[in-house]
Amino acid sequence: MKIAIGNDHRGLSLKKKILQKFSHLRNVAFMNVGSDSEERVDYPDYAKQVAQKVSQGECERGILICGSGVGMSIVANKFPHVRASLVWDSKVAALTRQHNDSNILCLSGDLMDEKKAFDIVRTWLETSFEGGRHETRIKKIQAIERELKEKK
């Protein structure tokens, strides 16, 4: 699985720790498109890069990290075929995959310790979409995306 990972300056430390912890996984390849500096940058620039890669199918999933995770999720969800989820615990991480087929995980670099982040990322990577009744809902989301595109 190819995963684009992006961050602003406030997500740098957590991104480095996630890459260090999970880069050894055989079935996961990370594409780092985030800032590698602690100098202030604007989160929309990095959210856009990750969301485009997921939206266009270049990467299967993405991870975004900023101070709260909120800004990244707002930007990412502007892109077609993206279902970005702001996650704060492993239970929610599992639900976003099982029920929403979440393809971008948004995390807080300021409000989350690394152990919790690792549990969330591991759960999100290992959890599959359940399909079934949830597939109907995903198809409704996709229909809304098509309707909005047609109105432009």
- Active site positions, annotated: 66, 99
Residue with tokens 């900023």: 66
Cβ-contact 41, 35 below 8 angstroms? yes
Cβ-contact 47, 72 below 8 angstroms? yes
How far is 46 from 40, CA to CA, in rounded Å? 12
Q: What SS3 class is residue 57?
A: coil
Q: For residues 120-147, b (16+ Cβ closer than 10 Å) or e, as one string?
A: bbebbbebebeeeeeeeeeeeeeeeeee
